[in-house]
Amino acid sequence: MDNIAVKVNDLTVAYHKKPVLWDIDLKIPLGVLMAVVGPNGAGKSTLLKAMLNLVKPLTGRTFFWGESYQVNRKRIAYVPQRGSVDWDFPTNVLDVVTMGTYGKLGWFKRPRKEEKEKAIEALDKVAMLSYSNRQISQLSGGQQQRVFLARALVQDVDLYFMDEPFQGVDAKTEKAIVKLLEELKNMGKTVVVVHHDLQTVMEYFDWVTFLNTILIDYGPIYKVFTEENLKKTYRSAIDSFYKNNRKVI
Amino acid sequence: MELLFNLFSDYTLRIVAFGSSLLGITSGAIGCYAVIRKQSLIGDAVSHAALPGIGLSFLLIGSKDTEWLLLGAFIAGWIATFVILNINRLSRIKYDNALAMILAVFFGLGLVILTYIQKIPNSNQAGLEKFLFGQASTLLQRDVMLMGIVALLTLLPMIFLWKEFKLLSFDRVFADTIGFSTKKLDLILTTLIVISIIVGLQTVGVVLMSSMLIAPAVAARQWTDRLSVMVILSSIFGATAGICGTLISSSINNMPTGPMIVVVITLIAFVSLLFAPNRGLIWKKVRDNKNKKEINSTIVLSILYNLGVKHKKIFNAHDLNTLMLEKGGLKYSKKNLRKELDKLKISGLVNKHGKNLWAISKKGIDKIRALDYVNGGESYHD
Amino acid sequence: MKKLIGWICILALVSMALVGCGNQGGQRDDGKLNIVATTTMLADAVKVIGGDNVNVECLMGPGIDPHLYKASAGDVAKMQRADMIIYNGLHLEGKMGDIFESMTKQNKAALGAAETISEDKLITGDSGGGNHDPHVWFNVELWIEVVKEIEKTLSNYDQDNKETYKANADNYIKELGSLHAYVEKRVEEVPGEKRVLITAHDAFGYFGDKYGFEVMGLQGLSTATEAGTADVKKLADYITENKIPAIFVESSVPPKNIEALQNAVVARGFKVEIGGELFSDSLGDPGSEEGTYIGTVKHNIDIIVDALIK
């Protein structure tokens, strides 16, 4: 158990009648940089949310370093998909990133110079320092993404969950995120990323999980990123392709 | 100025103005949270829902003392809020619909109760009706003291839980994941909003109270992008409306105080919506026009530049006809083109040779080069 | 689930029907005249004049403000079933104007008691617009005219009992005459410059007019208007300057307004007392002495005079 960061047992999630996740068993070792891939509606986001108690599973439990989520929650950070926030909120970039320190501060304490400096450091890592005083609605999509990443960095945790951080970002941001992931890995952190772009999986990550409501396979890329697994995961997508468009080059 | 003198010398005016300003400060500050959480109309629902609470309190306790009535109002307002916020969770009814429903049902129930009360002998029910539109001018000293206590009760938690409320309002999911009990925070914030609404009922009444919660915050948001400044500004706006509304209504006969306060704060909000720098509508229009002009002059400049690049002699002068041909889609008439060129000459970006020939200047070249979208590809060095 | 909704609907309909049928009130089919009166003053007069020949139902009980009273569906039903409606008029029952109009259109026997008084005896409201002060019952002599009108109306409608009505009315008018004399006598006790009556709203105009009092109210003719801070200031200044010893609360208006006025005066350094509670827009408790018109008028004048001569 010592080198396992996250252990998922028998996880099943259903919103209505159809299950979104079915009987997932997963063991994520310490220090891996893992992509979670699958077609749309495969339950990738739901997997993250169910592991973090944001969504109630029908059955199953998730263990973090052998304990429940509540015990180790301060060592975990979650970067959700970008859309969930009101961008017209009266706050600027530095402020948002400083919010990442609130967890460690706890109730009532105010963020001081120390916290501000941590935020500045994180902003620098994602190349957003010059935007510190911008109101957040004045940022592009990619810049917003980097701000949220900086917020997660500031939390200084051991385990990161990210939901489609590369979705719809510009090239500069993509580069910055990749650099960040490498740094985290070098620091020995464990990072789990829901990823939408198959083309870049092999380049950016070292582990991968294939998900399509059920767990197709997971493990180190050199073992698991096979044509067979790809076919199994994206089967319905491939099938409907052949159904609708018989001719293929 | 006689008005201001009266403010300090007349006892009643002093009390009413002070009470109204306390109301303005409280509702202005806490209203910011309702607005940024996009829950503005909850103020409306709570204040309308308070009516049956007032009626029932009188029926059950039999006293028309303000304290009891406000307690009833608070309980009713709280229940309404609770129902609205949870009906969304537990059923398929959307937030807006739940809000409208609860508002109407509770208010209707309140009117029914008041009508019933008016039948009871010696009930002196007339005092309860006053809660519809407020009775600001009959504020007593103890009422104002109550408002002062409420102001403190509201502002202190806001200060102590400043970062928690900001976090909760901005990104609730994140707040959850870093270990803050969003349920508890929600409860506290909602309770504070309800309390401040209830206390304001005496001054502006059930029907108008929601404006005191929303208008100062909306106005303040126009002037700043920082929450701390917004809250302070909102309180100032609220207090100003309270005092001005009181002063104005005191100098005109038959002018009710509560509604006058609401008129003032609405005016402040309108002015802010139109004239605030950056977000104001008038400001935006002015800026848009300015930008359009900028772009137009840049287009003309770039025509000169491109001509120069084409002919490999950048400082060549060209006449107006050549320029007109260059940009096929140029919407300028010759007259306007000449005007534009004159303007550019004044800025030193072009030079005029003879009567009708124009060439780009060094300064103009530097400006064009600095704009990477005009330069795109063609540089005169190639 | 659908069954449950069905039962709930049926239950709702049944209970509505029951409630609608339940409210028979004091109207009976016993050969007597069924009359609905709006205010307690009118109800009192009708009871005295009509005697055993009438059932009187009063819509607004004691302590209820007729300016703000909103008729419920039950009230309208009562008026429909009654033989006759007697109301004050001149917009006293501010929110019931439409109802009276529709009743008269339906040929229901209705009497706007105060409206029968000739216009030269009425006081005009100072907001202009042809509004008259409706509080006519504070002038006992005017009330005698109202009594005469009620008697005429009853007699016309119910010819069989017109002698009884005339006799009752004549007796009552004699009593009212003594009441009027009593009021005048008590007023003599108050020195001229102290004859100032300050109350919550402008109800006592006719009293002041007839019996020689300066009368001022915080709110206007109707309690629906809000008393502004300017009004409070004006009155407070007046009270302080003229050293008026007492101001008065009204039974049908919240005392808070007068309290606020008193505080304003005290802040100016003059101690004004609250002289007592007057019955302004209704009579006192039924069953008590003040439950009758005569009792109420006596109560009022006693309180006023006793407080001012201190």
What is the CATH number for A58? Answer: 3.40.50.300
The per-residue pLDDT for range B296-354, each reduced to its tens digit, is: 888 888 877 777 777 777 777 777 777 777 665 556 677 777 788 888 888 888 888 87
Q: Which residues, including other chains, have CB under 8 Å from residue B382's CB and lie 6 or more apart?
A: none
Q: Which two tokens stand for residue C204?
A: 């006592």
Q: What percent of chain A has pLDDT over 70?
A: 95
B156: nearest CA partner in chain A: A108
Instruction: Decide if A84 and B173 are in contact by the 8 Å CB cutoff.
Output: yes
Per 3-state DSSP, chain B is made up of helix, strand and coil in percentages (nearest 5) of 75, 5, 20
Touching partners of C (3+ C-beta pairs < 8 Å) = B
Q: What DSSP character marks residue B161?
A: T
Q: What is the pLDDT of residues A142-154, one digit of tens each?
A: 889 899 999 999 9
* Structural domains counted in chain A: 1
User: Shortest Cα distance from C76 to chain B (angstroms)?
Assistant: 14
Listed range (A90-99, A163-172, B351-360) with the worst mean pLDDT: B351-360
Instruction: Pull the structure tokens for residue B106.
Output: 């509770």
Tens digits of per-residue pLDDT, B16-29?
Answer: 999 999 999 999 99
The Cβ of residue B132 has, within 10 Å, a number of other Cβ atoms equal to 20
Average model confidence (pLDDT) across chain A? 89
Using one digit for the tens of pLDDT, what is the confidence trace for C127-146? 656 788 899 999 999 999 99
Q: Check whether A32 has a pLDDT greater than 90.
A: yes
- Confirm or reject contact between B160 and chain A (CB < 8 A): yes
Residue B380: what pLDDT? 41
Of C123, C137, C72, nearest in space to C283 by CA: C137
Distance separating alpha carbons of residues B89 and B80, to the nearest angstrom = 15
| pTM (whole model) above 0.90 | no
Burial of B51 (0-12, 13-18, 19+ CB in 10 A): buried
- C-alpha dist (Å) from residue C25 to B31, B208, B299, B316: 49, 38, 87, 105
B212 and B24 Cβ atoms separated by less than 8 Å? yes
Chains in contact with A via at least 3 Cβ–Cβ pairs below 8 Å: B
Q: In B, which residues are within 8 Å of A102 by CB distance?
A: 163-164, 167, 175, 178, 180
DSSP state for residue A10 in the 8-state scheme = E
Q: Which pLDDT tens digit goes with each residue over B166-176? A: 999 999 889 98
Q: In Å, how far from its chain's centre is CA B79? A: 27
Residues 46-75 of chain C with CB under 8 A from chain B are 61-65, 68-70, 72
CA B237 to centroid of chain Cα atoms: 10
Q: Tell me if there are at least 3 CB pairs under 8 Å linking chains B and A.
A: yes
What per-residue confidence (pLDDT) applies to C13?
72
Name the band, by pLDDT with cuts 50, 70 and 90, for residue C15: low
Of the candidates C63, C233, C268, which has its C-beta nearest B124's C-beta?
Answer: C63
pLDDT digits (tens, 9 = 90+) for C255-280: 888 888 999 999 889 999 998 989 88
Q: Supply the pLDDT for residue B331.
A: 65
Beta bridge mates, A13: A21
The ipTM assigned to this model is 0.86
Q: Taking CB atoms and an 8 Å limit, are B118 and C285 in contact across chains?
A: no
Structural domain for A89, as ranges? 4-245
Which of B49, B53, B45 minimizes the C-alpha distance to B70?
A: B53
Torsional sign, CA C296, C301, C302, C303:
positive
Rounded to the nearest 5 degrees, what angle is found at the Cα of B165, between the Cα atoms of B160 and B166? 115
Percent of chain C at pLDDT exceeding 90: 35
- Give the other-Cβ count within 10 Å of A53's Cβ: 15
Q: Which helix (H) or strand (E) holds A162?
A: strand A159-163
Please, what is the average pLDDT of chain C?
Answer: 85
